[in-house]
Structure 1
């Protein structure tokens, strides 16, 4: 299935129903399809050909959805860039994929300061197009409508950035088939979207969970309501104003919503399904959230960028006091999961091992990284690096994250990357970075530092230093000063012992 199928389906069955809502803008499926055809034609006139990469660096909006559809309409490859990256990280990613065109909103314009000349820059903001850019609405007005190429399922559709064991970003390659498989398989296993309902797109669309949640709702019919970014008060107003039925969230977002001063008077009765994931959910936080949204079915999703979501919980199993409240769910209809040992052989039920998975939802590989692709997909399975055990009925229970990845507020942070930045500070002799439990963020970045002799270290100085080279969310929120780091018998930093001290 090609990903523009959902737009053709909406035009055929609900041409006059609102498909996208953003602020005061509301457009029907028919209007959106017409704009997409003209935008695709305009991008083609700008030199974008089938297979070319089109970057999107923007916060959520109706135009983000149109840009996705238009790129696929002409056979291009969308490349989703993180709005929380630094200019250096953005420039590296654009160069990595050899982008022909980049769409940027007003808030993200400062992030393209480091770009070399080359890609066409399309301004997707509401004001006048800055010098050196092309106006989004001008493109649509002038572009000729072109036919949808209706890409083959195996055609590369998206490059979505994730992390790696070295801490540097790499792009997972997904085809039309892998993304479509994930959407359809997840919908068949859990009610992640409501037929003819509406979904609030509040998690960033440069993350795969928000992207697929949006597309699942569009596929079954209904309306996409866009929140430019997550602001709890505004989200609560949108939920009531548009009678939203489903939303995809992180644990931190849910906590900020139900603890907001406006929550007691907000109308959230229309919410039928809340899909959450992307970060650890403390049981106490989940219990409070389920009490705050009593009409909603809670569905937990387990997965990663490379898998486009591979497991979720049925609502009947996901209940306060239930034995599987802490479970990450069972394999969805389109995926196979086993718990494997170091050789990739399945271990007995109840034994901790690595989550291995395969199916048509799995990425094609990493862009321009054949060695890392071969390592991740060895033996015909995707090796996730996550440690878990499985019970006798196939439910997963995550026990640890290999590779020392930290997930804070739905963002992936790799400890080695932060450690490298901290160690460049002249007052730091040695450091280790770990994730520690945090009720709001799921995990927070915590640095354990051995100061250089005769030097003092403050959290303010460390955060400011890290932000000079990395995104702000990667800077440690807390630090701990020690005389020496715990090490294993081989002299390596013992992060398991460090984490144990904070649990």
Structure 2
């Protein structure tokens, strides 16, 4: 696959508005400032820039072309960050994939992508082997472990030794910052995963609002998710842009103890994770307290959390916890409001609209539509084919919110999750939050059972646990004092656990399938 080495970004590039331009600008202005850290390893901006240039040469020498897809099955990993940046630097498209994909899922994704190269952990190599050479050639598979378990596998470090040439020392990064640079996989809670295409330009603009939330540089920022999820990539772009130190915990996937150890070691000032992550970190901190007084900004993302979780976090970490809303397609359109559960819109054009696209009145729920430079390019279908769902630049987020008299937003539900019973809209998120507040319930999920007369009827799956013994009749009586009659579930089904995605969001597809196995008595 050896081909002519193309132009590689210069350390003195100042014209590119994208991620790579920002990296080399910081490397030139603040070369010794720390950029990436994990465990005992730390790299300055100058060192990151040098390794990105070297890896870029290696990728080009291997034959990776602009627009080619490079699959990265990496978690919390400095090599993963370097490879992601290097892929963008040569105009190729980085595709982070979850390390827990099963063989059929991975084969389906690789069939769609037809990648030029695959990078991942040695333990994942047998999975790639079983899929076969037709999707990823054996010489295009690289492991990123410091010491691979099998010497038969190629190491990513081979690419660091690619010879330099006159072409590789060209003066400037001249790529298109508006071209696809990242394909982020949606979580697939309600449908098949989509490939969300972002450019360097949209990633930089997605990180813009977060700059206002971060403590001054060079404070340390803990990566919110492993790199196989979009928030991890967005915060990599954000810290490259701001000059902060991005800290990876010393674990591949989420591990609450490792995250806390990283906060203590590097005095991290910023934390953002899911409600599950917050819950696990509370448990880990109580089991083994760390010095976490460096935390200044803490955000909870994903499903709406119960009030007690906010209270427990603040009692344990002595730092306020605020809600945050974003999505793979537009990661930067909100910031925390003045209350723990309210949101403010960033510098976007934004409206709350009804089904006909007309603005709703204050206090009325509506779908949030946004437009701005952080919005994704569209859904990647094939090389050169991107399905752009925006209308006149407006993207329908699918999030239902309402605005109060202080211009703060309150989250209701995902539009496609709304249940409709006898013409009444029911937010499963609201019912779930009410159930989780009950002292006899640890976790809950709500779904609709199809009904010929009413359209849908409400059923809830619950995991008992808490301060008092569980009684379905008692729970339903208590719910009837907090919710309108039509919102109260007609049946509570006890389960051992609630299905969740790798991001710990409720797996709505699995929950809907569970609901189909239950019938409610005729009314």
Is the pair's TM-score, using the shorter chain for normalization, greater than 0.5? yes
Deviations 1:444-480 (A, max 9, x none): xxxxxxxxxxxxx9979999xx99xxx9998669968
Higher-Rg structure is: 2
Deviations 1:33-87 (A, max 9, x none): 1111111111111111111111111111111110111011111111121223222
1:356 alignment partner, SS class: strand
Deviations 1:228-258 (A, max 9, x none): 3222222222211221122221122122112
Matched-pair contact (CA < 8 Å) for 2:37–2:246: yes
CA-CA distance at 1:118 after TM superposition? 4.3
Matched-pair contact (CA < 8 Å) for 1:102–1:121: yes
CA-CA distance at 1:186 after TM superposition? 3.3
Per the alignment, do residues 161 and 462 of structure 1 end up closer, same or farther by CA in structure 2, a change over 3 Å counting?
A: closer
Q: 2:341 aligns with which of 292, 302, 326?
A: 326
Q: 2:239 aligns with which of 217, 240, 245?
A: 217
1:484 aligns with 2:500: no
Matched-pair contact (CA < 8 Å) for 2:401–2:413: yes
1:386 aligns with 2:369: no
Deviations 1:325-356 (A, max 9, x none): 322x11112x2221111111111111112121
Counterpart of 2:259?
235
CA-CA distance at 1:142 after TM superposition? 3.2
Counterpart of 1:310?
333
Alignment gaps of 5+ in structure 2: 1-16, 419-427, 433-444, 450-456, 467-492
1:144 alignment partner, SS class: coil
Q: Aligned Cα RMSD in Å?
A: 4.0
1:359 aligns with 2:372: yes
Which stretches of structure 1, 4 residues or more, deviate above 6 A after TM superposition? 369-372, 405-408, 431-440, 457-463, 471-482
1:259 alignment partner, SS class: helix
Counterpart of 1:280?
304
Counterpart of 1:142?
162
Matched-pair contact (CA < 8 Å) for 1:340–1:354: yes
Matched-pair contact (CA < 8 Å) for 2:463–2:496: no
2:50 alignment partner, SS class: helix
Matched-pair contact (CA < 8 Å) for 2:275–2:301: yes
Alignment gaps of 5+ in structure 1: 319-324, 409-413, 420-430, 441-456, 489-503
Per the alignment, do residues 136 and 97 of structure 1 end up closer, same or farther by CA in structure 2, a change over 3 Å counting?
A: same
User: What is the TM-score normalised by the length of structure 2?
Assistant: 0.73
Cα distance in structure 2, aligned partners of 1:487 and 1:219: 59
1:114 aligns with 2:131: yes
User: What is the TM-score normalised by the length of structure 1?
Assistant: 0.76
Cα distance in structure 2, aligned partners of 1:487 and 1:218: 59
CA-CA distance at 1:137 after TM superposition? 1.2
Per the alignment, do residues 56 and 348 of structure 1 end up closer, same or farther by CA in structure 2, a change over 3 Å counting?
A: same
Q: How does 1:406-417 map to 2 (within 5 A)?
A: none
CA-CA distance at 1:89 after TM superposition? 1.4
Counterpart of 1:89?
105
Matched-pair contact (CA < 8 Å) for 2:313–2:321: no
